[in-house]
Amino acid sequence: MRATTSPSSAPAPSLAWSLFLDVDGTLLALADTPTAVMVDDALKELLARVARSLGGALALVSGRNIDAIDRLFAPLRLPVAGLHGLERRTASGTLHTAGESRARLDPVRACLAAFVEAHPGTLLEDKGGTLALHYRLAAHFAETARRVIDAAAQALPGYHVQEGKMVLELKPAGITKATAVQAFMQEPPFRGRTPVFVGDDITDRDGLRFAEGAGGVSIAVGDRIEGQYRLADPEQVRRWLASVAALDTAGQSRN
């Protein structure tokens, strides 16, 4: 059973964790468009410290593709799952992909682009393996956007619509953030540790539920989804991550 928590509660950190972090809405405040997001040096350094504390058992699990994540966090290069698990780079640097090609989306790509052209304020984010239709700047088109992308999904067997905050994403079914975390947990340095997943949106539910089912910890950010614990916003997440990073300093002081 998921615990009832206050708007800013989180578990005491542990060196035995494998930590999985969503990016947008969890580490970073949401922006009007995906390209408007910036990562400051302080966050990069904090994540590097957390990774050292956990022996490298930290991964980013995002809806963005891996190239975009690497650009945001450069020069930091972490284990990462992109496109909700369609792409994954292990701690050793090996890249795994689900095998779905960009061409699979060609039958609907032009249709969605035409929709965006005709509906000012909407945005089509072409991630290669998925297509995300944003309506944050045109919320009055929400239902129209849903109808057009639902129709696109029906035209592509094996695909479904993943809902997020003011975004609808067309992606292959059956591959989720949970399957990405499960794969990480079978590899070093994650194997044998307790999984902890932190996320803020519907796209993170699978990862949160996997962590719970594996005897780990789920932490929801904001009030859109449920977890065993809750942090109010990305600023709360950073403060909590600082407590995880401090484990490394505490360990050194005892030696």
Give the residue numbers marked as catalytic: 22
Own/partner contacts of 123-129, CB < 8 Å, gap of 24 or more, are 123/33, 125/34, 125/167, 127/64, 127/65, 127/68, 127/83, 128/65, 128/83, 128/102, 129/65, 129/83, 129/86, 129/87, 129/97, 129/98, 129/100, 129/101, 129/102, 129/105, 129/171, 129/172
Q: Are strands 80-82 and 58-61 parallel, antiparallel or unpaired?
A: parallel
Burial 194-210 (b: 16+ CB within 10 A, else e): bbbbbbbbebbbbbbbb
Distance set, CA 137 to CA 102, 181, 222 (Å): 27, 32, 21
State the sign of the Cα–Cα–Cα–Cα dihedral 79, 105, 171, 231. positive
